[in-house]
Amino acid sequence: MSHAQSVSIATDPPINLMGLDPVALAALMSEWGDKPFRGKQLSRWIHQRGVSNFQDMTDLALAFRERLTTRCEVACSSVLTRHVSRDLTHKWLFDVGAGNAVETVYIPEDDRGTLCISSQAGCAVACPFCSTGYQGFNRNLSVAEIIGQLWWARHDLTQSGAVTRLSQVDSESAPDQRIISNVVFMGMGEPLLNYDAVLGSLRLMLDDLAYGLSRRRVTISTSGVVPMMDRLGQDCPVALAVSLHAPNDALRDRLVPLNKKYPIAELLAACNRYLAHAPRDFITFEYIMLDSVNDELSHARELIDLAQQVPCKINLIPFNPFAQSGLKRSSANRVRAFSQCLQDAGIVTTVRKTRGDDIDAACGQLAGDIQDRTRAKQRRENGIIQSKLQDIPVVESRQ
């Protein structure tokens, strides 16, 4: 090896193995002239055992560990803050550089442990009821930054003893005793607008050499990026939740600006196409309950008409108010009446329990100390609010 080559190797940035699946790890090993099975060993050490120090990977040859230490790293974003709610919901704030941060939330329940992860720093969809939209869109997260949220959360929960509390419940009632049994892409960002990185992280979550999660236990929540829904159905179908939030186009144009590009009829058709590949036989429609906006019984009856077009269940979500939105939560009585109307029509309906609201970890609150970078409130008051649809790429469907 020449001196110039040795200097190049020494100064190249380390390869972050956090974002490489077993196939990519095996390919890297082959490039180095090592046996591909080393990739499987590394995947188990990193993702199953949560080890980031190569010197602790004791079944690897010492010379190989030294090479890894010189040329690679296993790194996730650094944690800025960690909060634990009175209901044992956990929230971590991850530093993703340039003044940006993303949040990850763990929700323990009797029969599962669900991790809610982020896919973007900020969000371009700009729904007025979601605090993340007021941050504006900053950038997509990498595979390592997405999967690193799962890697760190499992490590931190294990170290803190939360695994003991959950396992005691799981041993009695749950088929899956892992502390994190479910992952939902319901944190900051629109997952299908960061498609390649989300796809890469999904493959790691599902891989038996990494996290080994069931497709039924991983959920993508989308505001309705129709072409990418079609791609996901072909590439890596997992459970799908659709942020509907309104029963007609006029109202949904206001609440979910992406609707102007992909209106409800196109969205429902995409849902039915997706179900041909999905691990579940229904789509979850998420519907946030906003006082005097979308919570009238007339809205419920319109929603019934939509729900009868797609095998689905409807999840009604209590709104978590924040000052910038100018919106209010529907009353408990109105939510009950709305839910009963749907159930009377034979629509499977649930009302989401609010968790972690004392640490701002509840649905729609994931923005920390909200800074209205978009000046959306001012523009609404001036009557000139515009969505950021011009920032959302047009992608050809594979259908």
**Model pLDDT for residues 227-265, shown as the tens digit of each residue:** 999 999 999 999 999 999 999 999 999 999 999 999 999
- Start-end ranges of CATH 3.20.20.70 in the chain? 78-391
Q: Please tell me the predicted confidence (pLDDT) of residue 161.
A: 75
- Start-end ranges of CATH 1.10.150.530 in the chain? 3-73
Q: Cα 31–141–375 angle (5° rounding)?
A: 160
Rounded Cα–Cα distance for residues 143 and 18 (Å):
8
CATH number of 3-73: 1.10.150.530
Checking if the pLDDT of 78 tops 80, the result is yes
Structure confidence at residue 360 as a pLDDT band (50, 70, 90): low
Nearest to 18 by CA among 140, 144, 118: 144
- Asked whether 60 and 32 are in contact (CB, 8 A), the reply is no
Structure tokens at 196: 């390649």
pLDDT in tens, 251-300: 999 999 999 999 999 999 999 999 999 999 999 999 999 999 999 999 99
User: Max CA-CA distance within the chain?
Assistant: 77
Decide which of 258 and 384 is more confident.
Answer: 258
Checking if the pLDDT of 13 tops 50, the result is yes
Q: What is the mean pLDDT of residues 3-8?
A: 45
Buried b (16+ CB within 10 A) or exposed e, 323-347: ebbebebbeeebbeebbebbeeeeb
Indicate which residues carry an active-site annotation: 103, 363
Structure tokens at 43: 């995947």
What mean pLDDT is reported for the chain?
86
Decide which of 174 and 224 is more confident.
Answer: 224
Decide which of 175 and 28 is more confident.
Answer: 28
Q: Please tell me the predicted confidence (pLDDT) of residue 394.
A: 41
Whole-prediction pTM value?
0.86
Task: Identify the CATH class of 78-391.
Answer: alpha beta
Rounded Cα–Cα distance for residues 24 and 246 (Å):
42
pLDDT in tens, 85-144: 888 899 999 999 988 999 999 999 888 999 999 999 999 998 999 888 777 889 999 999
Strands (E), the chain: 15-16, 72-73, 78-84, 90-97, 100-108, 113-116, 120-122, 137-140, 182-185, 218-222, 239-243, 283-289, 312-318, 349-351
